[in-house]
Amino acid sequence: MINNVVDGDISSIPADAMVVGLFEGDKITADVISCVDKALDGEINKLIGNGEFKAKHSESSVIHTLGKLPVRLVVILGLGKRKEFSPDKLRNAVAEICRLLRKLNCQKITMAPIGSDVKGITIADSAKLIAEACILGLYNFDKYKKSEEKAIDEITLVTEDSSRLSELSNAVSKGVTIAEAANIARDMVNEPANFMTPGNIVEVAEKIAEKHNLQLKVLDVTDMQDLGMGALLGVAKGSIEPPKLIILQYHGDESSAETIGFIGKGVTFDSGGISLKPSKGMGDMKGDMSGAAAVLGAVNGIAGLKLKINVTAIVPAVENLPSGTAYRPADILKSMSGKTIEVISTDAEGRLILADALSYALKMKLNPLIDLATLTGACLVALGTEYAGAFSNNKKLIADVIQSADNAGEHLWQLPLAQEYKELNKSQIADIKNVGGSYAGAITAALFLAEFTDNKPWVHLDIAGVASSDKEKGYVVKGATGFGVRTLIEFASLSSKEGGKYEN
Ligand code: BES
Ligand code: ZN
Ligand code: ZN
């Protein structure tokens, strides 16, 4: 879709629409936009002069060229104030404009490297960000219902500087790889639970492994029994769908013995089990495998970028349903770690499956560990739909993860792994219980997970509030957001450059 970069004069290239950017308060001086303005007999200047177009962020004006240029439409895209600009502002504005042009039935679009040379954004950064924005913003899940709008076939980035062609096409293909990785996760999450069973997640992992020639290991029930994964097996008991533990390995750095572990909660449907959820909104729980989708999408992206790093994704995949064979409140489960867990609620299943997945990650000596999970409604209550909760036992690691999220335009907010609340998880009859009471639910869930990390460097991201969106805004569309994929790719990229070692 956005596949090519060409050099030349954007005003001479035929297309349905051409997009140029403008900052608030900027004069139209000697650059791309002034050539276009001249060809349009000063129309853009008039729009600004009479106050019709103020170049506010994401504001746009569509001008019909009436044959004065080889494009049907010229679109000026407002970028807001220069001093408030950021990479994410660029992504959001470009995504919005792409969707507008799709509505206007444009199939072929040319675009200048909008928003470059501002706030440290280089022309290559701009190319990468534009590519990401186009692919993320135009995403729709139309597998089961064809959308009425025609897809945009081609977005061409046009540079005046022919010496930078290959640099810019590299940047574009990076952006494409990253955004496509997020869209893999979005596809998985948008699939309903009857088409995204644990077995279907395995199929996705198989496709990724095949495409990039990665090692894939899938544990089934008997393997889990041999390993003593009583927590994961307990959750699985209510469903006829057999649980899977997926281990997908990318080896990009033969010279290193270190491997990062990404662990993703893969509950393909969370009905709550015997502690059944209310029916209102229960369908949203098809997205309870968003963590799994994020870690698999990220590995696909990291392999696509050929980053010099080793990464292993671990996905416990299971369906949480009530039935005559389901696990119950008050059951005691014996986890792989040896710790026994009293089940207070069968709806606090995420922490149970992650406990065994973390033990498996420790057995594989992965370091650091980063888990992503739609773990608690409490996190949604605390931080809303824009910020994921972040917990860690290692200062440098969490700083690096937050930095990575920042680069990706994904918001994390650190919450305390408050030792004062550890006692809330104490059980009368087992080593620990799976619910810590009604207060600080996101924290007690994180403290529960911490018990299974052997105090190795670890970050837990509670993505319950951010994994899906009920509105369209910038490059976020309705449905799955793909949250976490781009943060994890950024983190792998940062680690590949800095060789980040973490010790506790
Ligand atoms: N999958 C849910 C958490 C969730 C809630 C994700 C809302 C996305 C949106 C999780 O398994 C769950 O049910 N957690 C319970 C825990 C409670 C029983 C301690 C919750 O948050 O209510
Ligand atoms: Zn649950
Ligand atoms: Zn859940």
Structural domain ending residue among the three candidates 127, 158, 189: 158
288 lines ligand 1 (CB under 6 A): yes
In terms of Cα–Cα distance, which of 260, 183, 170, 248 is closest to 213?
248
CATH of the domain at 186: 3.40.630.10
Q: Say if 504 falls within a structural domain.
A: no
Task: In whole angstroms, give the CA distance from residue 476 to residue 36.
Answer: 31
Task: In whole angstroms, give the CA distance from residue 427 to residue 319.
Answer: 26
> Which atom of ligand 1 is the closest one to the Cα of 350?
11
129 lines ligand 1 (CB under 6 A): no
Q: Say if 165 falls within a structural domain.
A: no
* Domain match, 146 and 244 both: no
Task: In whole angstroms, give the CA distance from residue 316 to residue 221.
Answer: 12
DSSP state, 275? S
Q: What are φ and ψ of residue 180, in 5° steps?
A: -65, -35
* Domain match, 89 and 212 both: no
Which of the four pLDDT bands, split at 50, 70 and 90, describes residue 328? very high
- Report pLDDT for 171: 97
- Which has more confidence, 102 or 499? 102
Mean pLDDT across the chain, nearest whole number?
Answer: 97
* Domain match, 22 and 118 both: yes
Given a contact cutoff of 8 angstroms between Cβ atoms, the answer to whether 305 and 179 are in contact is no
- In this predicted model, what pLDDT tens digit does every residue of 138-177 receive, in sequence order? 999 999 998 889 999 999 999 999 999 999 999 999 999 9
* Domain match, 223 and 312 both: yes
Percentage of the chain with pLDDT > 90? Answer: 95
How many helical (H) and strand (E) elements, i.e. helices and strands, does the chain have?
A: 14, 20
Give the angle 224-229-235 at the CA atoms, nearest 5°: 100
* Domain match, 130 and 237 both: no
**Could you identify the residue written with the tokens 């008050």?**
330
Task: In whole angstroms, give the CA distance from residue 190 to residue 182.
Answer: 12
Residues 6+ positions from 28 with CB-CB distance below 8 Å: 22, 34, 37, 44, 45, 48
* Domain match, 327 and 448 both: yes
380 lines ligand 1 (CB under 6 A): yes
- In this predicted model, what pLDDT tens digit does every residue of 192-217 receive, in sequence order? 999 999 999 999 999 999 999 999 99
Mean pLDDT, residues 424-453? 98
CA 286 to centroid of ligand 2, rounded, Å: 11
- In this predicted model, what pLDDT tens digit does every residue of 92-113 receive, in sequence order? 999 999 999 999 999 999 999 9
- Strand pairing class (244-251; 215-219): antiparallel
Q: Which domain holds residue 240?
A: 179-498
Q: Which helix (H) or strand (E) holds 110?
A: strand 108-111
pTM, two decimal places: 0.98
471 is catalytic: no
Structural domain ending residue among the three candidates 100, 125, 158: 158
CA 383 to centroid of ligand 1, rounded, Å: 14
Listed residues: CB within 5 A of ion ligand 3:
267, 270, 288, 350
Given a contact cutoff of 8 angstroms between Cβ atoms, the answer to whether 170 and 122 are in contact is no
348 lines ligand 1 (CB under 6 A): yes
Distance of CA 374 to the CA centre of its chain: 13
CATH of the domain at 116: 3.40.220.10
Q: Other CB atoms closer than 10 Å to residue 274's CB: what's the count?
A: 19
* Domain match, 149 and 204 both: no
Would you list the DSSP string of 17-57? EEEEEE-TT----SSHHHHHHHHTTTHHHHHHHTTS----T
- Strand pairing class (244-251; 310-320): antiparallel
Q: Where are the alpha helices (DSSP H) in 153-217?
A: 165-190, 198-212
Domains contained in the chain, number: 2
Per-residue pLDDT for 32 more than 80?
Answer: no
What are the start-end ranges of the E strands in 202-270? 215-219, 244-251, 260-264, 266-270
* Domain match, 237 and 272 both: yes
451 lines ligand 1 (CB under 6 A): no
Per-residue pLDDT for 2 more than 80?
Answer: no
**Could you identify the residue written with the tokens 């276009």?**
36
- In this predicted model, what pLDDT tens digit does every residue of 238-294 receive, in sequence order? 999 999 999 999 999 999 999 999 999 999 999 999 999 999 999 999 999 999 999
CA 234 to centroid of ligand 1, rounded, Å: 17
Given a contact cutoff of 8 angstroms between Cβ atoms, the answer to whether 198 and 224 are in contact is no
Per-residue pLDDT for 29 more than 70?
Answer: no
Catalytic one among 38, 277, 396, 478?
A: 277
Catalytic one among 99, 164, 286, 351?
A: 351
